[in-house]
Amino acid sequence: MVENHLRATGFYHVSRIGVIRGFHPMLAALVERWRSETHSFVLPIGEVTVTLEDVAHIFGLPIDGEPVSGWTDSSSEFVQSQGIAIFGREPSVSHNAKSYIKLAWVRRIRDAESLDTEESIRRYVRCHILCLLGSTLLTDKSTAYVHAKYLPLLRDFEQIHTYSWGSTCLAHLYRALCRASRYDTKEMDGPLNLLFVWA
């Protein structure tokens, strides 16, 4: 039942991809060849880049549809009300930044779902998608938190598949590569699995 719901949201394929580790030399080589002006890698064979088609094939995310955007309210009241509506309880947030939800808390909530009702299955899938957003698709360097700005997009279960999650993921990758290619940057975040599989 969970698989069918994940398929309906467009997140099934990406949920089957594990974490890829140990490719730091390849990552360093790619970042060194990234050109922010053209959003492409300059290689001996010419310029190449990760495309929306690549995102669709590798992650299976929707690339057509509504943009992943909206009004962001970082107040604790907003985060609490969205959390109650989506998870059925108040989320555990970062003490430093109240608009970030702890991924460990989301995983605990997900794993505690009984999966015996339609709403329980939907809560499980929403939690799973939020974990994917915070740990695989739209990561930051902490990888321990996910921004609460995605909560309103997960609230209406029937609308989750209508957003262009793939283009958001690609834009996040481009932004992460542009940041990582600066001389004063030592780490990189973003959807590294996408980059590794593409390479």
Per-residue pLDDT tens digits for 16-70: 988 777 678 999 999 999 999 999 999 999 999 999 999 999 999 999 999 999 7
Token digits of residue 145: 């938190």
Which tops the pLDDT comparison, 22 or 158? Answer: 158
Q: pTM above the 0.85 mark?
A: yes
Measured in degrees and rounded to the nearest 5, phi and psi for residue 143 equal 55, 15
Q: Where are the beta strands (DSSP E) in 11-166?
A: 34-35, 40-43, 46-48, 100-102, 145-147
- Apex 136 CA angle, 132 and 138, nearest 5: 90
Q: Crossing angle for the helix pair 118-132 and 103-112, nearest 10 degrees?
A: 150
Query: Residue 117 burial (CB < 10 Å; 0-12/13-18/19+)?
Result: exposed
Domain residue limits, the chain: 1-198
